[in-house]
Structure 1
């Protein structure tokens, strides 16, 4: 009898426990659909930028088909070199790029011929940048270790002339092994520009001379302003994070609700552009909130799409939708009103 009474107590406690356990609040499908549409709009804009770079790539490859005639009757070369670096300085002539013939070049003479062959790219790069306000720089890095970057920058004081450009992801992500279709490639790792332009995303395109990879064409875009334009016009509290948990963009209230450091002038863009900005400070996995860190694990590692907050007084729930073309995630935060 005592045994049966014990079972009754256990069952009663079990019912009580189940009855009090939190259940996930149902999220209307239209919430997810709104986020998918927002992501689709952003990715469509990215596809338009990609098409424009594709046009530059086709022109570049056309130049290579005319290599013999161009080198036979070359235009005056506006570049002079001191060692690896062209001597023109930033702001000196806005029509010129910065050129480097890196020390690992297998053939300096052929590299110098390549400079002459591709000088016509300067005007094409300039036109591309002027018509794409988010473009920070346009560049070509070649198998012959020739680097051409428009607009010109202080290359001599920034770049080590002994680097092998083919060992960097903005080159090898476009090679045949990583890109067998030979098409456009978004580099998955965005980075924060040291010159204060915010988050940068790179798009590259291989340039083939016959079956040989001649160079990789690329453009760096500022994405913070672009993304925040979309987020600012949408009701709701959104953040956009990469696969590491770094906040790429977001609304100020959403970021501050997630127990992140104070924002400069209540604007994340200004915070990113400030001198003392550290990416690690604005990473979901480094939030002061245990639940926010748990949310990050659920969304980014376990690929869940819905999280309920139980401990945070100001937070109710969050939902997440991944991007299709790049490893980013759009998260909507629902505060407790």
Structure 2
């Protein structure tokens, strides 16, 4: 039979094949499709959940790995800069010893290098291990010249420290009466102004009793070097003397240029195109590698055009301070939180 034999009165007769097909759809195909769609839905939901959990786990692992890497590299930076701090303490101790030791009785080659200049300055006139400059803001007499002779003893140490550590740009002693002895040698009259008040500069006063009561080696903020080496940070330490050992005779310093820090200290290989920067106590970015310049909207300051002598402290502008920029508020809070 190709058609149903019995149908209700007035109803259209349905072919058997179509009837069987519709029954098959209702009984088999549609349930199978529903089941398949259910499986697909379960698959996609489970895949999404698995992805979310894997992404969360991977993110946690990545953050932990980045934190470990950053801490490891921060420790390496601290070790490099800490070595400079250790050298500064040795330098300060040996300078104090030199200032306590009487000058040689006989004339020396170093004596012959010094002469008076205009405005009362007393300075080195030709090349040697170090350069010397008494600014004349305090009159230079026999006692001051004797101090110059005593400080000649620190020349070999300054030379050795610079040769031993590639970060070191220059070393110096600055005294309370505005005498500067510095290695390597350069022509001081072309760089320093007469009557220069050396204790008014940050590389001196940041090591005085008010700023450094514990008499430790401390790092300065970034500044323009009056000696002509561009933007600089310095590890400085006080040199005390006097009968009771409480008179600040001077401050020794070891200079590291910002350019050297960027090239030799911050040249780290961090994952995910990360980079390191050096931030000072007050939130000033002391050193920023090229990869960070676009992110921070800054151009790192390394060189300086010395059109005239540096007569006062010259620090980085406020754009370099994370605490003074609204767009870096989150970073500033993180730094304060430690």
Q: Normalised by the size of structure 2, how large is the TM-score?
A: 0.64
* Counterpart residue number, 2:223: 191
* Counterpart residue number, 2:330: 298
The equivalent position to 1:31 in structure 2, one of 66, 73, 92, is: 66
Deviation at 1:295, TM superposition (A): 3.9
Report SS of the residue matched to 1:206: strand
Residues 289-323 of structure 1 show CA distances to partners (whole Å, capped at 9, x for unaligned) of: xxxx64412212xx137xxxxxxxxxxxxxx996x
* Counterpart residue number, 2:45: none
Higher helix share: 2
Cα gap change, 1:29/1:321 in structure 2, threshold over 3 Å: closer, same or farther? farther
Deviation at 1:37, TM superposition (A): 2.6
- Give the length in aligned residue pairs: 260
Task: Output the aligned Cα RMSD.
Answer: 3.6
Deviation at 1:78, TM superposition (A): 3.5
Deviation at 1:73, TM superposition (A): 4.9
Structure 1 unmatched ranges of 5 or more: 1-24, 262-267, 286-292, 306-319, 323-337
The equivalent position to 2:113 in structure 1, one of 79, 86, 105, is: 79
Cα gap change, 1:167/1:199 in structure 2, threshold over 3 Å: closer, same or farther? closer
Whether the 8 Å CA contact 2:132–2:180 is kept in 1: the answer is yes
Q: Normalised by the size of structure 1, how large is the TM-score?
A: 0.65
Residue 207 (structure 2) pairs with residue 174 (structure 1): yes
Cα gap change, 1:239/1:111 in structure 2, threshold over 3 Å: closer, same or farther? same
Structure 2 unmatched ranges of 5 or more: 1-58, 306-315
Cα gap change, 1:61/1:33 in structure 2, threshold over 3 Å: closer, same or farther? same
Residues 1-31 of structure 1 show CA distances to partners (whole Å, capped at 9, x for unaligned) of: xxxxxxxxxxxxxxxxxxxxxxxx9883443
* Counterpart residue number, 1:310: none
Q: Which aligned pairs between 1:1-337 and structure 2 lie closer than 5 A? A: 28-67=63-102, 70-73=103-106, 75-76=108-109, 77-83=111-117, 84-89=121-126, 93=127, 95-105=128-138, 108-187=141-220, 189-191=221-223, 199-210=231-242, 211=245, 212-229=247-264, 230-235=266-271, 236-240=273-277, 242=279, 243=282, 246=285, 248-252=287-291, 254-259=292-297, 272-273=302-303, 283=320, 294-300=326-332, 303-304=333-334
Deviation at 1:141, TM superposition (A): 0.8
Report SS of the residue matched to 1:148: strand
Whether the 8 Å CA contact 1:107–1:144 is kept in 2: the answer is no
Whether the 8 Å CA contact 1:138–1:150 is kept in 2: the answer is yes
Report SS of the residue matched to 1:86: strand
Larger radius of gyration: 2
